[in-house]
């Protein structure tokens, strides 16, 4: 492989382009009209436009991506995650075009991508699954009947789903019809497939996943687990490895189960098996993601394995350079997803321009970012701005390092999830490793009750800046922004020499 | 200069005097000597009694948004009214206006004019950044006006629904 087209945008496109650069492989970026100025376009060797801003007209257009690959002379395609990464049709189109798709074969994607067939295969491979329907359900009557059989609370899930889209927790029968309608319409617009299925919801479940890699020569290993229990709206916001929950025995057992399913499915390349653990730590297989995972850096930091390069080597037909016994977890890694979202308003998206940016660095800190200062975070795509990852010799050291990094990280112009991480990282439940998927909900609400908040510094800074602004306005100097409030307009009118 | 500063729902009286990097900020009667180094850009460094604070600062509705050590503050500033410190702000009265918190598309309307709604009841489903978000009523009352229709594309701040 000499040239790889990266069929994605944002931080994951940057991640893959960097791996290509380090391996001496040329990289081809693709971009929508909203992304001409984006970082992935700047970092790649080549860049080809693929259409208007809406993803359905650009990043989801198989024909335009194939055309860009043809015109650029790429011989490989990396799909990243999201968009077409788990679209069997895209993998097949690449295969038919003679392009190496950096991921599993298209028929494996189809098999594992259909969540209900993946559940059946997992049962055959000896894994337990969460009680629920093994077939997708069509129509309200079928959903009502199955719900009555399973009992509440229930999870409604998109059969073609992933990434938290088309997913609804339903506590009561009365909420089922409207939740089903919402899930179906979200699934239809995200995946072009509105079918849903039901699973029994576990009480305070833990979400733990196993990373696997397999080559074309029958070699398959796991790279241990990632703990992903900190979620909002059923999407992960913080991940770590190792999981504070797993014993060495449970870790080994889950790894063996994961490899068993990989072998049964004839799976090739990197993938992730997601499990839910109930309050007795019993693992239930949830689904398999047939792609690179957003949170792959935590595994890279504790195992020392570069997963993107490993993906490319496997796709080139190379053998895995390690066996299971070579792999170990060293230290502890945590990832915080910096989203353009306002944690004070229930994580509503906050797109806009990044007016100023200060990114942390120093020992053990990695920032996988898709943006630079001055960039716009477009409202068309996922609001992930960056992934902040910290490594430490053990979990307390990793938490301390992450707190230090969050403290250094400053994003102006948009709201981000960083202030939420500041609170989460010193929450007693988080520090104690008592994680569950409901912890975010327990942390919600205004931060204002927090006695440790350094508000006097904030007020002093604001007052000094206001005074400076008033003086510079009075002297005829420009305001840094148009006056927005009555008091600053009044300030403009005041004379020089205001008695302050 | 004397201002009222509201932060985290509390009002404080703040007086600031000085210039050229040296300021005395009196906050609710307590004086702080601040060594102020503005820049680069919207960042600034404060040294207060030997303690160093690295901050980010940007204009935000009615004042400044300030980032300090991983925390975020919306500091509202106004000409002082002479009221004492720490008076909580009164609860807003009158009709409540639900506006769009982000640009996006209206997927569904969940209430119609004249309908009685509870606080927290969903009024509008909006799609933004590939997620459907339910926007809820800020208070209990009657839906007085609906300003959008389904499938309409809207910008941040657009008026969606008024609840009386």
Q: What is the pLDDT of residues A7-24, one digit of tens each?
A: 999 999 999 999 999 999
Q: Does B77 touch chain A (CB under 8 A)?
A: yes
In A, which residues are within 8 Å of B54 by CB distance? 408
Alpha-carbon distance A239 to A337, whole Å?
Answer: 9
DSSP code for A34: G
Closest CA to B146 of B118, B119, B108: B108
pLDDT tens for each residue of A151-187: 899 999 888 876 677 888 899 988 998 888 888 888 8
Q: Is the pLDDT of residue A25 over 80?
A: yes
pLDDT tens for each residue of A377-399: 988 999 999 999 999 999 999 99
Do A237 and A196 belong to one domain?
A: no
Of the residues A151, A183, A200, the one at which a domain ends: A200
Indicate whether A278 belongs to any domain: yes
In A, which residues are within 8 Å of B78 by CB distance? 485-487
pLDDT on residue A495: 33
Of the residues A180, A200, A220, the one at which a domain ends: A200
Do A168 and A65 belong to one domain?
A: no
Q: Which of residues 33-62 of B touch A (CB under 8 A)?
A: 34, 36, 38, 41-44, 46, 48, 53-59, 61-62
Residue A466: which of B3, B10, B53 has the nearest Cβ?
Answer: B3
Do A283 and A158 belong to one domain?
A: no
Active site residue A291: yes
Question: Across chain A, what does the average pLDDT equal?
Answer: 91
Q: What's the average model confidence in pLDDT over A364-368?
A: 98
Do A474 and A421 belong to one domain?
A: no
Indicate whether A404 belongs to any domain: yes
pLDDT tens for each residue of A462-477: 999 999 999 988 876 5
In B, which residues are within 8 Å of A190 by CB distance? 130
Q: Which of residues 39-78 of A touch B (CB under 8 A)?
A: 55
Do A403 and A459 belong to one domain?
A: no
pLDDT on residue A72: 98
Asked if A463 and B5 touch (Cβ cutoff 8 Å), the reply is: yes
Alpha-carbon distance A284 to A111, whole Å?
Answer: 19
Interface test with B, best of A351, A427, A446, A456 (most B CBs within 10 A): A456
For chain B, list the domains and their CATH numbers. 2-79 (3.30.700.30), 96-163 (2.40.50.100)
Q: Is the pLDDT of residue A479 over 80?
A: no
In B, which residues are within 8 Å of A485 by CB distance? 61-63, 77-78
Indicate whether A340 belongs to any domain: yes
Q: Is the pLDDT of residue A137 over 70?
A: yes
pLDDT tens for each residue of A192-223: 888 888 998 987 889 999 999 999 999 999 99
Alpha-carbon distance A237 to A318, whole Å?
Answer: 34
Q: What angle do CA B40, B46, B50 make, to 5 degrees?
A: 140
pLDDT on residue A232: 85
pLDDT on residue A491: 43
**For A401-413, b where at least 16 C-beta lie within 10 A, e where not — what string?**
bbbbbbbbbbbbb
Indicate whether A268 belongs to any domain: yes
Q: What is the CATH number of the domain that holds A171?
A: 3.30.1490.20
**CA distance to partner chain A, nearest, from residue B83 (Å):** 17
Contacts 24+ apart (CB under 8 A), A66-74: A66/A93, A66/A94, A66/A97, A66/A99, A68/A5, A68/A28, A68/A30, A69/A5, A69/A28, A69/A94, A69/A97, A69/A99, A70/A97, A72/A3, A72/A5, A72/A28, A72/A46, A72/A48, A73/A3, A74/A3, A74/A4, A74/A5, A74/A28, A74/A99
Residue B16: which of A410, A467, A485 has the nearest Cβ?
Answer: A467
Do A175 and A93 belong to one domain?
A: no
CB pairs under 8 A between A and B: 194
Output the tens digit of pLDDT for each of chain B's 164 residues: 999 999 998 999 999 999 999 999 999 999 999 999 999 999 999 999 999 999 999 998 889 999 999 999 999 999 876 544 444 444 445 678 888 877 788 999 998 999 998 877 889 988 877 677 778 887 788 999 999 999 898 887 788 999 88
pLDDT on residue A493: 39
Interchain proximity B58–A410, CB inside 8 Å: no
Q: For chain A, what is the domain count?
A: 4
For chain B, the straight-line distance linking the first and the last C-alpha, in angstroms and rounded, comes to 39
What is the value of pTM for the model shown?
A: 0.81
Confidence of residue A118 (pLDDT cuts 50, 70, 90): very high
Please state which of the ranges A202-206, A270-274, A378-382, A446-450 shows the lowest mean pLDDT: A446-450
Do A176 and A210 belong to one domain?
A: no
Q: Is the pLDDT of residue A353 over 70?
A: yes
Confidence of residue A240 (pLDDT cuts 50, 70, 90): very high
Q: Does A354 touch chain B (CB under 8 A)?
A: no
Catalytic choice (A291, A337, A366, A401): A291
Q: Does A358 touch chain B (CB under 8 A)?
A: yes
Q: Is the pLDDT of residue A451 over 90?
A: no
Alpha-carbon distance A11 to A80, whole Å?
Answer: 10
Q: What is the CATH number of the domain that holds A97?
A: 3.40.50.20
Indicate whether A371 belongs to any domain: yes
Helix, strand or coil, per DSSP, at residue A51: coil
**CA distance to partner chain A, nearest, from residue B144 (Å):** 24
In B, which residues are within 8 Å of A421 by CB distance? 70
Alpha-carbon distance A134 to A117, whole Å?
Answer: 7
Do A292 and A386 belong to one domain?
A: yes
Do A330 and A429 belong to one domain?
A: yes
**CA distance to partner chain B, nearest, from residue A406 (Å):** 6
Indicate whether A112 belongs to any domain: no
The most confident of A89-93, A117-121, B116-120, by mean pLDDT: A89-93
Q: Which of residues 103-142 of B touch A (CB under 8 A)?
A: 103-104, 107, 125, 127-133
Do A282 and A421 belong to one domain?
A: yes
**CA distance to partner chain B, nearest, from residue A408 (Å):** 7
pLDDT on residue B88: 41
Do A433 and A294 belong to one domain?
A: yes
**For B20-50, b where at least 16 C-beta lie within 10 A, e where not — what string?**
eeebebbbeeeebebebebeebbbbebebee
pLDDT on residue B81: 61
pLDDT on residue B25: 96
Of the residues A172, A200, A228, the one at which a domain ends: A200
In A, which residues are within 8 Å of B9 by CB distance? 446, 448
pLDDT on residue B87: 42
Do A413 and A461 belong to one domain?
A: no
Residue A50: give the domain boundaries. Answer: 3-102
pLDDT on residue B138: 77
Closest CA to A9 of A37, A52, A38, A49: A38
Indicate whether A316 belongs to any domain: yes
Indicate whether A449 belongs to any domain: no
How many residues would you count in chain A? 500
pLDDT on residue B154: 87
Q: Which two tokens stand for residue B154?
A: 């809207």
Interchain proximity A462–B67, CB inside 8 Å: no
In A, which residues are within 8 Å of B129 by CB distance? 349, 351, 379-383
| Residue A232 CB partners (closer than 8 Å, separation 6+) | A347, A440, A441
């Amino acid at each position: 492989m000499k040239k790889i087209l990266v069929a994605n945008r944002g931080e994951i496109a940057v991640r893959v382009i960097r791996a290509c650069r380090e391996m001496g492989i040329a990289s081809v970026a693709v971009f929508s009209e909203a992304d001409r100025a984006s970082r992935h376009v700047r970092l790649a060797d080549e860049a080809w436009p693929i259409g208007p801003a809406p993803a359905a007209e650009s990043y989801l257009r198989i024909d335009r991506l194939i055309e860009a690959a043809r015109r650029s002379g790429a011989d490989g395609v990396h799909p990243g995650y999201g968009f077409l990464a788990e679209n069997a049709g895209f993998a097949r189109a690449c295969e038919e075009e003679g392009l190496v798709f950096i991921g599993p074969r298209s028929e494996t994607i189809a098999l594992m991508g259909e969540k209900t067939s993946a559940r059946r295969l997992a049962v055959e491979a000896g894994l337990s699954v969460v009680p629920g329907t093994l077939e997708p359900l069509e129509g309200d009557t079928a959903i009502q009947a199955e719900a009555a059989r399973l009992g509440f609370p229930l999870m409604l899930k998109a059969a073609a789903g992933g990434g938290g889209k088309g997913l609804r927790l339903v506590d009561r029968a009365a909420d089922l019809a409207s939740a089903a309608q919402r899930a179906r319409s979200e699934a239809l617009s995200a995946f072009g497939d509105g079918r849903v299925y039901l699973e029994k919801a576990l009480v305070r479940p833990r979400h733990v996943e196993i990373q696997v890699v397999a080559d074309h020569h029958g070699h398959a290993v796991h790279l241990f687990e990632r703990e992903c229990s900190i979620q909002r709206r059923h999407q992960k916001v913080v991940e770590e490895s190792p999981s504070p929950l797993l014993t060495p025995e449970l870790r080994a057992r889950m790894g063996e189960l994961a490899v068993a399913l990989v072998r049964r499915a004839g799976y090739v390349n990197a993938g992730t098996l997601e499990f839910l653990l109930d309050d007795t730590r019993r693992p239930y297989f949830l689904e398999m993601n047939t792609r690179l995972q957003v949170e792959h850096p935590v595994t890279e930091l504790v195992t020392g394995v570069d997963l993107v390069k490993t993906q490319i080597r496997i796709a080139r037909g190379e053998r895995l350079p390690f066996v299971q016994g070579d792999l170990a977890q060293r230290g502890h890694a945590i990832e915080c997803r910096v989203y353009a979202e306002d944690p004070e308003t229930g994580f509503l998206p906050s797109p806009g321009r990044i007016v100023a940016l200060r990114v942390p660095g120093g020992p053990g800190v990695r920032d996988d970012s898709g943006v630079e200062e001055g960039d716009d975070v477009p409202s068309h795509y996922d609001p992930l701005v960056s992934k902040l990852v910290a490594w430490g010799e053990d979990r307390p050291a990793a938490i301390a390092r992450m707190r230090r990094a969050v403290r250094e990280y400053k994003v102006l112009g948009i709201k981000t999830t960083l202030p939420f991480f500041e609170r989460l990282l010193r929450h007693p439940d988080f520090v104690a490793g008592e994680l569950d998927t409901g912890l975010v909900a327990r942390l919600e609400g205004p931060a204002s009750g927090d006695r440790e908040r350094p508000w006097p510094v904030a007020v002093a800074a604001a007052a000094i800046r206001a005074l400076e602004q008033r003086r510079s306005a009075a002297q005829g100097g420009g305001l840094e922004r148009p006056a927005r409030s009555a008091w600053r307009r009044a300030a403009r009118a005041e004379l020089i020499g205001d008695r302050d | 200069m004397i201002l009222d500063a509201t932060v985290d729902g509390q009002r404080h009286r703040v007086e600031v005097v000085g210039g050229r990097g040296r300021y005395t900020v009196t906050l609710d009667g307590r004086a702080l000597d601040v060594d102020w180094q503005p820049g680069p850009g919207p960042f600034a460094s404060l040294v207060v009694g030997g303690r160093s604070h690295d901050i980010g600062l940007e204009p935000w509705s009615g004042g400044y948004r300030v980032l300090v050590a991983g925390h975020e503050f919306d500091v509202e500033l106004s000409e002082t009214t002479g009221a004492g410190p720490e008076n909580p702000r009164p609860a807003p009265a009158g009709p409540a206006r639900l506006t769009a918190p982000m640009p996006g598309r209206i997927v569904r309307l969940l209430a119609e004019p004249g309908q009685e709604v509870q606080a927290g009841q969903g009024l509008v489903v909006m799609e933004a950044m590939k997620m459907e978000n339910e926007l809820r009523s800020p208070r209990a009352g009657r839906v007085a006006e609906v300003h959008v229709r389904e499938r309409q594309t809207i910008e941040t701040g657009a008026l969606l629904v008024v609840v009386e």
